[in-house]
Structure 1
Amino acid sequence: MCGIIGYVGHQQAAPILLDGLARMEYRGYDSAGVAVRSETKGLQVYKSKGRLQVLSDMIHGGADVEGTLGIGHTRWATHGEPNDINAHPHVSEDGRIAMVHNGIIENYMEIKQQLLRHGVTFKSETDTEVAAQLLEFHYNECHNMLEAVGRVLRRIEGSYAFGIICADYPNALIAARKDSPLIIGCGENENFIASDVTAVISHTRDVIYMEDGEIAVLTAEGVNLFNDEMDPIDKPHSHIDWDVSAAEKGGYPHFMLKEIFEQPEAIRKTVSPRVREGRVVLDDLRLTKEYIQGVSRIFIVACGSSYHVGMVSKYNWERLLRRPVEVCLASEFRYCDPLVDDHSLVIFISQSGETLDTMAALREAKRRGGRTLAVVNVVGSSIAREADDVLYTWAGPEIAVATTKAYSTQLVLMDLIALYLGDLLGTIEKTEYDTILHELEALPEKLERVLASIEDVKYFASRYFNHDSIFFIGRNLDYAMGLEGSLKLKEISYIHSEAYASGELKHGTISLIEPGTLVVALGTYEPLFDKAMSNVVEVKARGAEVLALATEPLKEKMAHTADSVIAVPETHPVVQPSLGVVPLQLFAYYVALQRGCDIDKPRNLAKSVTVE
């Protein structure tokens, strides 16, 4: 959600800012802007509603804007509608200070009223302009920008990542963060700030991850960091080891399709290093046998697709571990007075590791005494740093807003954790343990078979793309998988789509089935296949058209009732959702393609949700 980029050095800043913003377009935004300081023109601000290209055309790719110090931003509207005025950067009343901001200032209205009483006038509806005007107010009092920033941070409540430049400080870029991601990129005679390493990876692989409450002052020559007491601090540098080409399309028409096809390799990278001599080995997990035996309840906390990973895992974990598992939406967890104590294992799943709802839930779980385990993709992210234990999915960068390979790697990593814990508890028979592990290792090859035969999916997408409402039905693991298939479709095609447990049809939902309604029936969970078939008969009797998903051995049986069938290879039931979800991802992609949608950047959505 939103993107921040900042640069200080000896190169022309504006083209670098535009390039950084372009690399963060996947985060979701509705307006963009840059502010650059030059010796001759002072503070120059350009911003516009709409795509980044509108801004780039306005300033001819940045060539029109001189200066070697600047900040840029892509905004996803929270306070105020998307328009040129509400776009960032925001400038103080006297025009000396420019600010970009991710997050939400919760007490902005109180501060705004105070500033209005002092005669300050406002141009926008945003909370960010309030922060910029407050900064000017304190700067006029103390005449020291760093001190003024400290006063502002002590005054505001909420979440923020700030990038600030001031006309009076021609060589300094100031940054601060709390509950919103911000990194520092360290180059040679130049330094950067960014919401995401993808924005700076073409310039430097040397980064510093800022922590909550920290302030940084960047010049071309170096970086000075301070804690919330304004004491100087030293921070370790991290090296980014993935290649810049991983964040480029590589010949694919969309990042989403590229990332769907990257899933076999991403799963291979997640699974292979964790299997040694036929056993799951999780070196980074510090959960002892004694602790696991004392766990009375397991919570899985997540949002969106990661929540759907939790739903699949609930079925698998309860069967394999014989422990109660509760799957919670992170946005609800801390408000429902959760029954977490020191006998609770609380697992947090997040692609970015910066999801604000999930971060707040993690802190609540720790406050209540729970043991926390993070499953994330981004090394050094906030959730990874704050959890008691962390396991990385190693999916590589994911650019498309609609997740695919991050979901798939989360799913297989949760399967590996279940095997590891089940082995400690002695709740999994050796034969089943060996079978599941073998199938996880064979999964990349089977996924490649699925991806090699996508013509049927393309055809069905061209046949069904004009439906306005689609229902996914399934039982047990198929229901959990259907949640993700439905979400993928609605995210990028804008078709109304819902997933239901098949047995719930007769409790109300079947009233929505009428002649011509498309129902996607999932029948990959073999133990309940016959019951799934009975639900297909139910919807067919009401005139529904049924597109089914089944395993190869069950395809012919499903075809007797369904109108169309997509088949996937058979595997162990625990692993089957990892195969079944891929045709659903592809179906969503090709439906969206037929409808002419902006697949990588669907409307109103952001990759990383860093506000509540």
Structure 2
Amino acid sequence: MCGFFAIVFDENRDDLGEILVNAAKRLSYRGYDSVGAFAIEESGRWELRKAPGKVDEVARKLNFHELRGYKGLVQLRWATFGTPSVENAQPHADCDGQIVGAHNGNIVNSPVLRDELVASGHRVRGQNDGEILVHVVEQKFKETGDMVKAIIEAAKILRGDYAYAITKLDENRFFAVKKGSSLFVGVGDGFVCASSDQVSILEHTKRIIPMNDWEFVEFGHDYYILRDLHTGEVIHREPMISQLSPETTTKAGHPHFMIKEIHEEPQKVAELVHLMTELDAYDEAARKILDAQRTYIVGSGTSYHAALMGAYFAAKVAGVEIIPSIAAEFPERHGDTITSDDILIAVSQSGETKDVIHCVNVFSERTGREDFIGVINVLGSTLAMKAQPLLPIASDLEISVPATKTFMNQMVLLLYLAFKLAEHKGAPPRHPMPDFERIPELLTETIERSRPL
């Protein structure tokens, strides 16, 4: 998975190291194998410290907190290409120490690119695909003399799903690229930042710029320029105000986030129930399902289990067949039989799940349909911005890796959708409609009863 956070300030900050460490801690669920931090001062003095291990351990061992500067980058790695080691830890520098970058995702053709780079004289220190990315951008910059052109040219040969942040040390700006992996940009007073997840941005600003795949952004402390990754054409997009609360990034007295998020379930279900009754999107979704020849529902991990329950609810309540599929299997299992008369339901907590995004892309390519029904938690994510209609899970931020409140809200949402299907069929539901407003009370009672355990 991996995760990174990059930021540019208007002046040197003595607390830059602390800012980077705090961001890394909020992204710690994305990588456990190694951590690295880069900081550069206005004088041009810079440091890159990294090592295998978890955030607290590495930050303490390498004194991340003492880093200062106006521009910084931190990355946590979940090893795929290359074993956990100093050489494979990110961020990475180029041959001459003029470019530094870090990524999340996978560059699947990195072994081939590594051989080509070494043969052409590049000094590649490890086996990590993030380092290959930095050297490819370095090579393209040498050929074009322009970072915008270098990033566009690099995208033509870097294969895979990824996002990355990169900077030239003699420039007071960063670039961040999104191609198949999550990326958010935050705009604040005297700074702009980019991260793999909103969770590391929210303590600084709630002004978020959501990004689509095949886009990249150039940003300094007081500006940002969004561009198309194919053409370099400028894209105009205003920041949105994130509805996520910074308080959700703390444990609020609980021993860990999973327990905290279990205790948030009653409140989040209550908020969802109120939202469901206000949205016309459920009527639109029900009509699309009933008009379709076949309806598929896809998800990965816990979201797939919610999808299974959604298919069960539709059958039992409304007598409507919905075909569930693990997202990774959908293209091969159903890709050759789907038609424009079918509809897809995509279930994803993050809205950035690679396999689910791939399903949506395959569905669009094979059927010619741009619309799909999205059951998504993170508004502003890739899937949330594309879904037609969007059914928000409304669970707020979920940090714990095991899904709790998001799974509960997915179940409630899909059950409500099943009753909407029965309503639009014009036939009585096969089971009585539950009192949705009583579910939070029942959840609270269940949590209280489980305390002694």
Contact 2:101 2:134 in 1 (8 A): yes
* Change in 2 beyond 3 A, CA 1:28/1:167: closer
Q: Which residue of 1 aligns with 2:61?
A: 58
How far is 1:400 from its partner?
Answer: 0.6
Shift of the alpha carbon at 1:59? 4.1
8 Å contact 1:260–1:404 — kept in the other structure? yes
8 Å CA contact 2:282, 2:420 repeated in 1 = no
Aligned residue number for residue 344 of structure 1: 342
Candidates 127, 146, 166, aligned match of 1:144:
146
**Residue 187 of structure 1: CA displacement?**
0.7
Alignment of 1:116-155 (within 5 A): 116-155=118-157
Correspondence 1:364 to 2:367:
no
CA distance in 1, matches of 2:331, 2:324: 13
Equivalences for 1:16-95 in 2 at 5 Å?
Answer: 16-40=19-43, 42-63=45-66, 65-95=67-97
Cα deviation, 1:424-480, whole Å, max 9, x if unaligned, reads 0124349x4xx4241x22111011111111145x2xxxxxxxxxxxxxxxxxxxxxx
2:391 aligned counterpart, secondary structure: strand
Do the aligned partners of 2:36 and 2:91 also contact (CA within 8 Å) in 1? yes
Distance 1:207 1:293, change over 3 A: closer
* C-alpha distance in structure 1 between counterparts of 2:275 and 2:103, whole Å: 39
Counterpart of 1:397 in structure 2 is: 397
Q: Which residue of 2 aligns with 1:331?
A: 328
Larger radius of gyration: 1
Partner residue of 2:216?
215
Q: How far apart are 1:213 and its partner, in Å?
A: 1.8
Q: Aligned to 1:353, what secondary structure does the other structure show? A: coil
Moved more, 71-80 or 38-47: 38-47
- Deviation of the 1:302 alpha carbon: 0.5
What SS class does the counterpart of residue 156 from structure 2 fall into? helix
Displacement after TM superposition at 1:40 (Å): 4.2
Greater Cα offset, 85-94 or 142-151: 142-151
Q: Do the aligned partners of residues 292 and 122 (structure 1) sit closer, same or farther apart at CA in structure 2, a change above 3 Å counting?
A: closer
Counterpart secondary structure, 1:87? coil
Q: What per-residue deviation string (whole Å, max 9, x for no partner) do you get for residues 302-328 of structure 1?
A: 111111112222222112222222110
**Residue 294 of structure 2 corresponds to residue 297 of structure 1:** yes
Match of 1:287 in 2: 284
Structure 1 pair 82/247, CA: closer, same or farther in 2 (3 Å)? same
Q: Distance in 1 between matches of 2:290 and 2:204?
A: 49
1:387-406, Cα deviation, whole Å (9 max, x unpaired): 22211011111111111000
| 1:195 correspondence with 2:196 | yes
Q: 2-side partners of 1:198 and 1:71: how far apart?
A: 16
Matches within 5 A, 1:175-574: 175-228=176-229, 229-275=231-277, 282-285=279-282, 287=284, 291-338=288-335, 339-369=337-367, 372-429=372-429, 432=431, 435-438=432-435, 440-455=436-451, 458=453
Using structure 1 for the length normalisation, give the TM-score: 0.70
Cα gap change, 1:209 to 1:273, in 2 (>3 Å): closer
1:7 and 1:16 in contact (8 A); partners too: no
1:609 aligned partner = none
**RMSD over equivalenced CA pairs, Å:** 1.9
User: Quick check: 2:422–2:429 contact (8 Å CA) kept in 1?
Assistant: no
- Alpha carbons of 1:342 and 1:148: their partners in 2 closer, same or farther (altered >3 Å)? closer
Counterparts of 1:302 and 1:263, CA distance in 2: 21
Deviates more, 1:376-385 or 1:115-124: 115-124
Deviations, residues 116-147 of structure 1 (Å, cap 9, x unaligned)? 22122311111111111122222223332222
Q: Secondary structure at the match of 1:323?
A: coil
Quote the Cα distance in structure 2 between the aligned partners of 1:289 and 1:130: 47
Q: TM-score, normalised by structure 2?
A: 0.94
Structure 1: runs of 5 or more not aligned: 276-280, 459-612
Match of 1:531 in 2: none
Equivalent residues of 1:48, 1:54 under 8 A apart: no
2: distance between equivalents of 1:213 and 1:196?
Answer: 18
Contact 2:289-2:295 within 8 A present in 1 as well: no
Is the contact between residue 298 and residue 323 of structure 1 (CA under 8 Å) also seen in structure 2? no
Distance in 2 of aligned mates of 1:42 and 1:373: 50
Letter in 2 for 1:219: G
**Shift in Å, 1:291:** 4.5
2:288 and 2:136 map into 1 onto residues whose CA distance is 50
CA contact (8 A) 1:317 1:418 kept: yes
Cα drift, residue 43 of structure 1: 3.2
The residue type equivalent to 2:381 in the other structure is S
Report the residue type matching 1:443 in the other structure.
I
Partner Cα separation in structure 1 for residue 265 and residue 21 of structure 2 = 30
Deviations 1:230-261 (A, max 9, x none): 12221121101332112211110011001111
Deviation string 1:52-102 (CA, Å, 9 cap, x unpaired) is 012321343422x23111111111111011222211101111111111011
Counterpart-to-counterpart distance in 1, 2:285 and 2:205: 39
The 1-side partners of 2:21 and 2:178 are apart by 22
Structure 2 unaligned residues grouped into runs of 5+: none
Structure 2 counterpart of 1:100: 102
Which stretch shifts more, 98-107 or 20-29? Answer: 20-29
Distance 1:325 1:77, change over 3 A: same
For these two proteins, the number of residue pairs brought into alignment is: 446
CA distance 1:449–1:131, shift in 2 (3 Å): same
